[in-house]
Amino acid sequence: MATILIVDDMPMIHRLLCIMLSRNNHKVITALNGKEALAKLKETPVDLMITDINMPVMDGLTLMEKIQSDDRHKKLPIIVMTASITDHLKLLSNGLRTHPILTQPITTRELNDAVTHCLQVPAFAD
C-alpha cells in the first residue's frame, strides 16, 4: 500500500482515481492545484504524486519544478496526466523528470501499470 497524492482541479477526477487506486489498497490524498499540493506535501509524506498540468493557482509544470528544486521531495515519483498533446510536448521540452505521462482518458490498467512501475523503480539519478 502506498500513499498517493492526486493533484487535479476537477473533483470528479479525484473521485474516479480514488476508486481506481483504492482497489489496490492505496491511501489517496487530494489537492485542487499545485499550491495546495505543496502544502499537503509538508503535512503528509507521500510515495507518489499524480498531477494534471492545466490547473488554476499553480499549474502542474510549476509544481513539478518546485518539487524538483526541493531536496526533501526531489526524488518523489511523479505521474503526469494530460488530455493535451501541447502539454505533453511542454513536458518533454522542459526536460522535467517524470515517470509516465498518461493521456486522458486513462484506463484502470494504464493507471495501475504506471503506479506499479513508479513504486518499483528507484527515482532517477540527479
Q: What is the pLDDT of residues 29-88, one digit of tens each?
A: 999 999 999 999 999 999 999 999 889 999 988 999 899 898 888 889 999 988 776 665
Residue 40: inside a domain:
yes
Are residues 72 and 50 in contact, defined by beta-carbon separation less than 8 angstroms? no
What 8-state DSSP symbol labels residue 70? Answer: -
Strand bridging mode 101-103 / 48-52: unpaired
Is residue 125, in this structure, part of any structural domain at all? no
Enter the pTM of the model.
Answer: 0.87
Domain that holds residue 89: 3-119
Q: For residue 66, what is the domain's CATH number?
A: 3.40.50.2300
Q: How is residue 62 written as a grid cell?
A: 510549476
d(CA 53, CA 63): 9
Query: How many domains does the chain contain in total?
Result: 1
Decide: 68 and 99 in contact? Cβ < 8 Å: no
The answer to whether residue 126 sits within a structural domain is: no
Closest alpha carbon to 110 in 17, 10, 33: 17
